[in-house]
Chain A
Amino acid sequence: MPLNSVDILLVEDNMNDAELTIRELKKHNLSNKLFHVRDGEEALEFIFATGKFAGQRQVDYVPKVVLLDIQMPKINGIEVLQQIKENERTKIIPVVMLTSSKEDPDIQRCYALGANSYIVKPVNFEGFAESIKNLGFYWLLLNQPPH
């Protein structure tokens, strides 16, 4: 898959959650242009075409949506969000924050930083599947990007 044509960038350190997410999207034919990175560092390298993605892709070919887990090693989701939204070229990328807990004290902060949506990953599978499906549909099919 050419890295310039990625539609969904999934940033998720939990492999199980990632697998379930991808599977659910696949069910609805939404995972063709999905790229999965495992932590914040990798996510930033992908978005800004640095590190191991240097020369692999252009920054201007932005994904249609970034699904961003908050709780991650090295660089967490909030920092990634901040960097995306601070950069003129990337701040238009819709970012959906994913978290495991309703207790998360960072919800307000995420919205303030410009997160486009905030999803609590439900424990029950039906809920989870429904969320992911809706997410995919909305951002890939319904949402009209600015360009």
Chain B
Amino acid sequence: MDQVGEFFSRLFSSSDWPPRWHCGEWTSFHGWLYIISDLLIWSAYFTIPIVIIRYLSKKKDIRFVKLYFLFAAFILACGATHLLDAIAFWIPAYRLSALFRFVTGIISWVTVFYLIKNLPQIFSLKPQKALEAEIEQRIISEEKFRGLLEAAPDAMVIANEKGLIILVNRQTEKLFGYTKDELISKPVEILIPTSLHHKHVAHREKYTQDPHVRSMGAGLELEALKKDGSKFPVEISLSPLVTKDGTLISASVRDITERIKAEKKIKEFQYFFNHSNDLSCIANNEGFFEIVNPSFTKILGYSENELYNHSFIDFVHPDDIAASLEIYGQLKSGATVLHFTNRYRKKDNSYLWLEWNATPNPITGKLYCIARDITDRKKAEDALSKLNEELEQRVEERTIEIEKNEKRFRALIENSHDIITLMNDQFNVIYRSPSASRTNGWSHEELKDVSILKNIHPADIEIAKEIMQELIKNPGKELHVSFRIQHKDKHYLWVEGTVINLLHDADVKAIVFNFRDITQRKKLETLLHKANTLARMGSWEVDLVNETVYWSDITREIHETEYKYVPDLSTAIIFYKEGPGRDLITQKVKEAIESGKPWDEELQIITAKNNEKWIRTIGETEFINGKCVRIYGSFQDIHQRKEAEEKIIASEKRFRTTLDNMLEGAQIIGFDWRYIYINDSFEKHARYRRDEMIGYTVMEKFPGIEQTEVYKVYERCFAERVSIHLENEFKFPDGTIGWFELSFQPIPEGIFILSIDITERKKAEANIIRAETNYREIFDKASDAIYVHEIDTGRIIEVNQKAVAITGFSKEEILNSNPEIFTSDNPEYTVTHAVTYLQKAAAGEPQLFDWLTRKKDGSDSWMEVNLKKATIAGEERILAFFREINDRKKAQLEVQKLNEELEQKVISRTEQLKRTNEELEAFSYSVSHDLRAPLRGIIGFTNILEEDYSSKLDDEAMRITSVIKTNTMRMANLIDDLLAFSRMGRQELLKAPVDTNTMVREIIDELKPTNKNPQLQWHIEPLPEIDADIATMRQVWTNLISNAIKYSSTSQKPQITIGHYTEKQQQIFFVKDNGVGFNNEYRNKLFRVFQRLHNSQDFEGTGIGLAIVEKVITKHGGKVWAEAEVNKGACFFFSLPVTNEKNEK
């Protein structure tokens, strides 16, 4: 504290310096001028900051406030220095003065720096006028803005950065239901549902940090809240407005309720469009597709692009193009909705029947079309119409048959002499047979629909009416009538006949009047009478007493003689035609003369004019006293009658012959059911001879026929007089069956029956039906399920019982379906796969594969499927045979599983073996490494002993060191051999051709150093090339040859022979020496590890070499053996299988 006090007392102390008045030579004038100037400056300087501060305190929107304050401080400080300068004339506080000046200096410089920094800005300040103009401009633009704001179609809400509303337009008021005053200064969230407030605040804050223009439709669709609490969807665009008061956010809000509704509708329409099973499309006014729905592409199989590049007409069936174009024309000329059908080509070139509904848009001219696939319906319609056609065909055939019958009937009627008139219930004529016109002169037209009474004789009308009444009362009753009718030329005709009411008969529906003109008969009766009297009959007489002949004129006429011609007895005879006729009459005359026997013969004469004539001659006699005196008689010209008779007989004969020889059986049966006539063919049909039948009744010949249907036909034909046609199965008395086609015709004698034996045809038909039944039976009883597919669609059109049994589906469910109904969920057995198989089979490639089938109960079953193309009744089909193979499949799957397991096992075993092998390898490596190092040490140091200490060791010691070294070396060799042996077991053989000759020669060269006997002789035979592992084979040869050298080394004249021979498909090699040999008893021990037959003092060795040989050869598939005799030598053999590979190659 004392220090601070001291500082200030020193600061204000003025004792160190004299007052200014005393410094130098101040005159009063100079001093006071100085003082007053300083005070003036100070006061002025003091006033300036006061004025500035006052000004600043009044005006708020002033910029560069800091500068003003700095400037004020600077002036104030400057002023203070001047004040202190003035004071210093009396109080010389120079320290204080110095401090003030220092402070002034600092403030000055700060001011300078600030000024430098802000000067450019300060100079850019606008002058008052410019500012006013700008304000004016601002007001105008604000009004413009306000106008724009009000004119904006959307509700505009302007908020500041804090989210408070500062401006809204009238649309906002209208949209939200608030007044302007209710909204201004409220947070914008007032316009947003409460549930969204939190989100909106966050959203708004994020936006104000990075304001950017966000246009309509770019943002989210939001919900807005009205004053009345209702919500509605809106779309909002945002744009930031940078103003001097900070960033404002202008939001335009658009009510999109209607749009969303519309969009929803469009979506619904789109959904409908896209999911409709109907084909929907829009085509432009050139007929090109603009939009098609998925069904369109799916059903027709085209891709959308393929459709868009085409006019609709490109897909129309050629036969339908004309009709389709016509409809298209109507649509273009303004027809509204049109329905029509046509065929459309699918991608696979098949055609679909489509039923269209097309509407043009009157403005754009585009066509809105909806089509439905009616192929199936169409097919059904076609089938129906085909059926109808068949039916019609049959009806027509029937009609023709009936017409034929009718014609036959009509012909009968029309050619008959009888007149047939049909009348209706009013007795008006509806039909008259042609003979009627011939008879009474009236044409058919003249009497048609005219009452029968009109032409009846007035005297007969009463009777006619009575008959009519009776006819109406008794339908079906036949009445006999006779009355007169008037001819066209007014004369009357007598007619006689029967009339029957058949109005009730559906086939006739008329009253049938069957009559005959008997006028002629009546006339003839009269004429006959005349003829009898007048006669064409002459008379003659021969007086035997006078021997004269008398001819009447007519007789002479008949004979065409001269008028006065008088014949005698002999000449009369001569007129008779020579031959049997003349002989007969001569005979008759003779008999008559002798015995009085009369005659009546029809004979031929030759007239005087040489004409041949039939005459009837009747002769009688007169006897007197037992003697013939006169013969007389009549002579009649019967030529015309006779001729007609002859003709009839000839015709009857012709007819009979024809009938007799017909292939059809013909029989005529009388009303008494007795056979009147039968022809040859019927004999065969009936299996009776003619004489066995004629005169017998049908019932006698075919007992039991009364119980059959055909008997009724006989009856009907007898009774109703109608012709009947039928096929009948007939049972013969012996029980056999015959089939006949029978045609019953009523004839005057009774009935006439034509029969055709159709037994064979029926039998054939029966056979076909039986065969069909058999095949159906076989088909159904087949052990496989059989389906018959249509070749192009894959549709199942036939299926057997087994398929029904296996799948559980009914026959009806299977028929007409596709393989789809049997498809399981397994992705390897889909419809697509099935279709592929079917297509391959359709291409003629039989398919055999396993298939997983879905049964009706949902279970899956394995099938073996066999698909074949076949032609059945001229149609190409695919036959599918399904055999259930669940058991086999199960076994197959099990085997597969087992195999996989086995394979897995093999793999893991191999892995294990490989590991073991690797372990062994590592083991043998470390064995060889670690066992050898100490041995090297032993030998090395023993050697040092020998070299460095030989002077200190006696002979015995030296021998011992040598023994140590020898044994150690043996151990090292042993290790090497053992390792080689173990490696041999593991190594894999790499077989390649080996040149044995070269190999053996090389080995002998290598082994030469070990051979200490210069007498050794080699015999090496040529050796074949072998197929073997070269490294191990070299080992074999090395071991065998080195053994031979070793064990023969002690012989006087060592000999080694190497040779080869072939035996039983084996190449056999041998190495033979004449060395020490061994006892044959031990030969089996030779090849075992560590087995030696000699002591190592005599012959070095580890006892592993031959074991290696054995192992190598065994691995090559061969054998090793040896033969020896002590002191005579040994021979080692090995065999290798002959490989034929070379020959095969």
Contact = CB atoms under 8 A, between A and B. Distances in A.
A122 B973 CA distance: 11
The CB with the most chain B CB atoms within 10 A, among A100, A124, A125, is that of A125
A123 B939 contact: yes
Contact of B929 (A16, A23, A99): A99
Contacts of A20: 936-937, 940-941, 944
Nearest to B943: A125
Contacts of B983: 103
B925 A123 contact: no
Contact of B939 (A99, A104, A124): A124
B493 to A, nearest CB: 146
Contacts of A71: 929
A101 B936 contact: no
B928 interface: yes
A147 interface: no
A122 B972 CA distance: 10
B313 interface: no
B935 interface: yes
A109 interface: no
B968 interface: yes
Contact of A123 (B930, B969, B979): B969
Q: Interface extent on B, as a size class? A: 20 to 34
A100 B928 contact: yes
Contacts of A104: 925, 929
B965 interface: yes
A128 B983 CA distance: 25
A102 interface: yes
B924 A103 contact: yes
A121 interface: yes
Contacts of A102: 928, 976
B979 A103 contact: yes
B543 interface: no
Interface residues of A, number: 20
B690 interface: no
B290 interface: no
B932 interface: yes
Given A23-B944, A123-B968, A14 B924 contact: no
Interface string B648-679: 00000000000000000000000000000000
A125 B932 contact: no
A58 B941 CA distance: 36
B972 to A, nearest CB: 4
Nearest to A104: B925
Interface string A1-41: 00000000000001011001001000000000000000000
Interface in A66-82: 71
Given A16-B940, A20-B936, A125-B939, A103 B925 contact: yes
A105 B921 contact: yes
Contacts of B965: 124-125
Contacts of B935: 123
A98 to B, nearest CB: 11
Contacts of A16: 933, 936-937, 940-941
Contacts of B932: 100-101, 121, 123
Interface string A114-147: 0000000111110011000000000000000000
A123 B940 CA distance: 8
A117 to B, nearest CB: 19
B940 A101 contact: no
Contact of A100 (B936, B941, B942): B936
A120 B930 CA distance: 13
A10 to B, nearest CB: 15
B424 to A, nearest CB: 130
A128 B930 CA distance: 17
B979 A17 contact: no
Interface string B501-513: 0000000000000
A102 B925 CA distance: 9
Contacts of B972: 123-124
Given A123-B969, A125-B965, A101 B929 contact: yes
Nearest to B973: A123
Nearest to B939: A125
Nearest to A71: B929
A102 B965 CA distance: 21
Interface in B927-982: 928-930, 932-933, 935-937, 939-944, 965, 968-969, 972, 976, 979
Contacts of B976: 102
Nearest to B976: A102
Given A103-B924, A123-B968, A128 B936 contact: yes
A17 B936 contact: yes
B278 to A, nearest CB: 77
B940 A125 contact: yes
Contacts of B979: 103
A40 to B, nearest CB: 16
A128 B941 CA distance: 12
A130 to B, nearest CB: 12
Contacts of B924: 103
Contacts of A14: 933, 937
A26 B935 CA distance: 22
B985 to A, nearest CB: 14
Contacts of A99: 929
B937 A17 contact: yes
B484 to A, nearest CB: 149
A19 B430 CA distance: 156
A109 to B, nearest CB: 13
Interface string B586-624: 000000000000000000000000000000000000000
Nearest to A14: B933
Contacts of B944: 20, 23
A102 B937 CA distance: 18
A105 B933 contact: no
The CB with the most chain A CB atoms within 10 A, among B924, B933, B976, is that of B933
Nearest to A105: B925
A101 B943 contact: no
B925 A121 contact: no
A124 B930 CA distance: 15
B933 A100 contact: yes
Contacts of A124: 939, 965, 969, 972
Contacts of A121: 932, 936
Contacts of A129: 943
Given A23-B944, A103-B924, A103-B979, A123 B936 contact: yes
B933 A17 contact: yes
A129 B947 CA distance: 13
Contacts of B969: 123-124
Nearest to B937: A16
Nearest to B948: A23
A49 B403 CA distance: 134
Contacts of B937: 14, 16-17, 20
Interface string A77-111: 00000000000000000000001111111000000
Contacts of A122: 936
Contacts of A105: 921, 925
Nearest to B968: A123
The CB with the most chain A CB atoms within 10 A, among B930, B932, B940, B941, is that of B940
A103 B980 CA distance: 9
Contact of A101 (B921, B928, B941, B968): B928
Given A23-B944, A100-B928, 9 more contacts: A16-B936, A16-B937, A20-B937, A104-B929, A105-B925, A121-B936, A124-B965, A125-B942, A125-B943
23 contacts: A14-B937, A17-B937, A20-B936, A20-B944, A71-B929, A100-B936, A103-B924, A103-B983, A104-B925, A105-B925, A121-B932, A121-B936, A123-B932, A123-B936, A123-B939, A123-B968, A124-B965, A124-B969, A125-B936, A125-B939, A128-B936, A128-B939, A129-B943
| 10 closest cross-chain pairs (CB), A and B | A123-B972, A16-B937, A101-B928, A125-B943, A20-B940, A101-B929, A100-B929, A103-B928, A125-B939, A100-B932
Interface of B: 921, 924-925, 928-930, 932-933, 935-937, 939-944, 965, 968-969, 972, 976, 979, 983
